[in-house]
Amino acid sequence: MIRLLHLDASARPGRRGVDPHGSYSRALSHRFVSRWRATRPDDPVRYRDLGAAPPRLVDHDWIRAEFTPHDRRDAQMHARLAESNALVDELIDSDLLVIGAPLYNFGMPAPLKAWVDSIVRIGRTVVFDPSRGDDPYVPLLIDRPRRVVVLSSRGGHGMDAGGPLAHMNHLEPHLRTALGFIGIHDVRCVAVENEEFGGERLAASVAAANAGVDALVDTLLSEAATSPVPVAA
């Protein structure tokens, strides 16, 4: 069994092709999960719509609670960290993380950034060990293989790795850095581009992204069949 955690971060509530003004990234993530479940219907999927219900932003109360030793936290501190703990638990429990996220102003949507800030946690997903000198951070999510699929949409074009405008795309690199920091390094990406151009250029990009999602599902299903991901105890 492979446990999926499906996150959508677009501010658009619907899926492109189904709902008026719907989201391309939501359409891609829904396509991925639907195709996965068509082959593996028994794999559990936990869904969280970050765009519709963003995690609370890190604030002074969160920081005060997070950096107070666990045995000295009062009830208010535990309550302030409850949402973050739930997000961490969901991630730890997952084997395959599917993220639908558009590129907003060169980076990730604010709700997804709030999620990242909630799951990069000292003592929960990473350890700070000053005795290690210049490399004091020890990732904790290395107990078993975890894979990440980032399904995005962009107004411009040429922003894939190696593209002429890749330097303007900080969404995927940010996620790779943050997730790698806690021990998740296998990140696969597919994106729709040319939203602002529309017409044939957009249609061709959507078709290519849909094909890319289908191929990625097939690849990951094949990998799962030959090297199943162990389920956490």
Is 10 labelled as part of a ligand binding site? Answer: yes
Is 118 labelled as part of a ligand binding site? Answer: no
- Which of helix, strand or coil describes residue 137? strand
Is 158 labelled as part of a ligand binding site? Answer: no
Is 107 labelled as part of a ligand binding site? Answer: no
Range scoring the smallest mean pLDDT among 8-22, 66-80, 95-109: 8-22
CA distances from 116 to 9, 87, 109, 182 (A): 12, 10, 11, 11
CA 55 to mean position of chain CA atoms: 14
- Which of helix, strand or coil describes residue 114? helix
DSSP annotation of 188: E
Is 137 labelled as part of a ligand binding site? Answer: no
Model pTM score: 0.94
Mind listing the pLDDT tens digit for each residue in 158-202? 999 999 999 999 999 999 999 999 999 999 999 999 988 999 999
Is 23 labelled as part of a ligand binding site? Answer: yes
Which domains are present in the chain?
Answer: 4-226 (3.40.50.360)
Which of the four pLDDT bands, split at 50, 70 and 90, describes residue 228?
A: low
